Structure 1
Amino acid sequence: MSALRPRTNILDKPLSRGKNEVSQGIFALLFSEIVQYCQSRSYTVPDLQTKLHDMGQDVGARIIDLYFVRERNSKRETKLTQMLLFIKTTLWKNLFGKEAEKLEHANDDERTYYIIEKESIVNTFISVPKDKGSLNCASFVAGIVEAVLTHCGFPCKVSAHWHKGTTYMVKFEDYVITRDKQLEDK
């Protein structure tokens, strides 16, 4: 009699092994449906972007719990720079199969950082009508990033902009910077 192996499902697999399990075409179809769903409930481009951002926040909250509980035994980053590097590298790789191109700190505001992605996959398969020319569907990803940072103790606002491709502007609450400086001094 052969030994029975326990069944494993996708939720039991480590995230790092789950690469390339969803094809780009399926992702594009699903994301297109998300955009159409939000669009059918919106009257303006900013309203549509807000709805995409809110949906991204729901996804981000679930991703961060899944990642830190499963992969890191609930150990989260405590320093701002390390958390931003986690987003730029690990989170981006798990979500999009590659790292974000750049992480920059604003010269004129110590609370502002930029995550730059030349070709955002969420904008790749979306054709924007002329009347919605300013639409940036990367607001969905901005919502994910905002939820991840906020749920990890780095409250901020994240918005997506057309600059050098897609640029995510991350603006932290004042006390996050103060706390981070205190941690560095220890």
Structure 2
Amino acid sequence: MNSSVDHLSPTTSSARFSLPSKPTPGSKLNIYERNLNKTRLSEVSAASLSFLFSEIVQYTQKRVSGINDLERRLNTLGYRVGTRVLELTAYRAEFSSKAPKREIRLLPALMAIHTQVWRAVYGRPADAIEKSVENVDEYMIIDNDPLIERHISVPRDLSGLSCSSFSAGIVEAVLDGLGFPARVTAHHTPTATHPTRATILIKFEKSVLDREDILK
């Protein structure tokens, strides 16, 4: 009778594990072999992204107890995406620039999110950045036509839901990664011309403002 060690040995087990072979000329690269700096052929269509996100919302909606729980889960999902977006944008910036730099000031960091992060995720910059006139620690990123909400019909009993909580999670993750800890939430702020307009509200921690005062 074979010992348990022999039974589990890779040389005696029927299971075999192998490393992926190198692509042959003319073969299609898998996702792990693509060049991270070439984005032209790696873009996803807006329709595909909208469909995928709507399925995520429907799946999550069946497993929550209310609007707050649903927004929290979308925020958590966005946070996970945001950490990867930050890694990818930082890698591309370092690769394409002879002197890459990390933003240490508040406004340049927000502008990077408004432009670079939004373009990396949604294919275009956000529409505006605004500073709160009431609270010095609050800023807002405005998206007049959120891509992820274009094909989502919110039921009447969930009228207060903002699916842009996903985007808020992305923003919070990027800010945390850059060293600007903040609480980020999404709010549905429709207008006559932009019925799906979303406001990403950013409330920075006191340590961020204290550091900003020192750097002035």
TM-score (norm 2): 0.76
1:126, distance to aligned residue in structure 2 (A)? 0.5
Unaligned runs of 5+ residues in structure 2 are: 1-24, 191-196
SS of residue paired to 1:72: helix
Equivalent runs, 1:85-104 vs 2, <5 Å: 85-104=111-130
Q: Is the 8 A contact 2:36 2:92 kept in 1?
A: no
Tell me the equivalent position of 2:109.
Answer: 83
2:211 corresponds to which of 176, 179, 182: 179
- 1:158-181 CA-to-partner distances (Å, cap 9, x unmatched) read 111122511010000001011012
Q: Is the 8 A contact 2:168 2:186 kept in 1?
A: yes
Say whether residues 1:147 and 2:173 are aligned partners: yes
Q: Is the 8 A contact 1:92 1:99 kept in 2?
A: yes
What's the Cα RMSD here? 2.2
1:22, distance to aligned residue in structure 2 (A)? 0.9
Equivalent runs, 1:8-27 vs 2, <5 Å: 11-14=34-37, 17-18=39-40, 21-27=43-49
1:21, distance to aligned residue in structure 2 (A)? 1.9
Q: Is the 8 A contact 2:114 2:129 kept in 1?
A: yes
Question: How much identity, in percent, do the aligned residues show?
Answer: 38
Q: Is the 8 A contact 1:160 1:168 kept in 2?
A: yes
Tell me the equivalent position of 1:170.
Answer: 202
Matched residue type, 2:139: Y
- 1:82-124 CA-to-partner distances (Å, cap 9, x unmatched) read 0000011111111111111110111121110010111111111
- 1:123-154 CA-to-partner distances (Å, cap 9, x unmatched) read 11111111111111000000000000011100
Say whether residues 1:43 and 2:65 are aligned partners: yes
Matched residue type, 1:182: I
Tell me the equivalent position of 2:6.
Answer: none
1:108 corresponds to which of 115, 134, 137: 134
Equivalent-residue separation in structure 2 for 1:8 and 1:174 (angstroms): 47
Equivalent runs, 1:115-134 vs 2, <5 Å: 115-134=141-160
1:9, distance to aligned residue in structure 2 (A)? 6.1
Unaligned runs of 5+ residues in structure 1 are: none
Matched residue type, 1:67: T
Tell me the equivalent position of 1:60.
Answer: 82
SS of residue paired to 1:169: strand
Q: How many residues align?
A: 180
SS of residue paired to 1:71: helix
Shift in CA distance, 129/30, structure 1 to aligned 2, threshold 3 Å: same
Matched residue type, 1:28: S
Q: Is the 8 A contact 1:14 1:71 kept in 2?
A: no
TM-score (norm 1): 0.88
1:71, distance to aligned residue in structure 2 (A)? 2.5
